[in-house]
A and B are shown apart, each in its own frame.
Chain A
Amino acid sequence: IQMTQSPSSLSASVGDRVTITCRSSQIIGTFLNWFQQRPGKAPDLLIYDVSTLQSGVPSRFNGSGSGTEFTLTISSLQPEDFATYYCQQGYSTRVTFGPGTKVDIK
């Protein structure tokens, strides 16, 4: 299963609303997760099963979608949110990640 993300990168300011789109090459049900990765660090699980926030993740992060199209929304971008975001499908036992979306400071 192939995963795509758009945009590949974006520049935003603190306080901005940011939306990242992830598409799968086939229907994946609710088996869609989002990870955040800061430079030099391991990825952090933000959202699993499309919309469930991992414990400790701020409520400004929201996941939605169904079928083959999914979105990650950050309602008000904070300085610590500048990072790369990856979607990941778990519908297949052969997990695949999207190519990533880099969010940097405008």
Chain B
Amino acid sequence: QVQLVESGGGVVQPGMSLTLSCAASGFTFSSYALHWVRQAPGKGLEWVAVISYHGSDKYYADSLTGRFTVSRDNSKNMVYLHINSLRSGDTAVYYCARDYRIFGVSSPSAYWGQGILVTVSS
């Protein structure tokens, strides 16, 4: 079955950097785009970024461009989200989610990870 497992979260000081990882299994990883979505405590869902199945196309939320970098390694079935210059406003649960269209960039599907908490605090 499809599984997505995020890791790499925790408590980070403001100004530091962090890389989140998402390990995928149960599907042909190299055929699907992967999304990152975050949710601040008590708030709604905020889409962060998507990377195409081949890794050449990357799109970011307009409000987040510059500090976030999405990447993937199809040989390892892994997708990553690197965040620079962390701020308190980045405190959130970060989810990775598979796209629902094969060989396309569309929307998150029914397949999401359990989420990983990032807390930015001194």
Partner among A48, A54, A86 whose Cβ is within 8 Å of the Cβ of B45: A86
* Number of chain B residues whose Cβ lies closer than 8 Å to a Cβ of chain A: 23
Instruction: Report which of A42, A86, A88 forms a contact with B113, defined as CB distance below 8 A.
Output: A42
Counting chain B CB atoms within 10 Å of each CB, the highest count among A35, A37, A54, A95 belongs to A95
Closest B residue by C-beta to A32: B107
Contact B44 A95 (CB under 8 A): no
Given known contacts A43-B95, A43-B108, A55-B110, what 14 new A-B pairs fall within 8 Å (CB)?
A: A33-B107, A42-B112, A42-B115, A43-B45, A45-B100, A86-B44, A86-B45, A88-B45, A88-B108, A90-B106, A95-B50, A97-B45, A97-B46, A100-B45
Which residues of chain B have a CB within 8 Å of any CB of chain A? 35, 37, 44-47, 50, 59-62, 95, 100, 105-110, 112-115
Q: Shortest 5 CB-CB distances between A and B: which pairs?
A: A90-B107, A45-B110, A42-B112, A95-B47, A97-B45
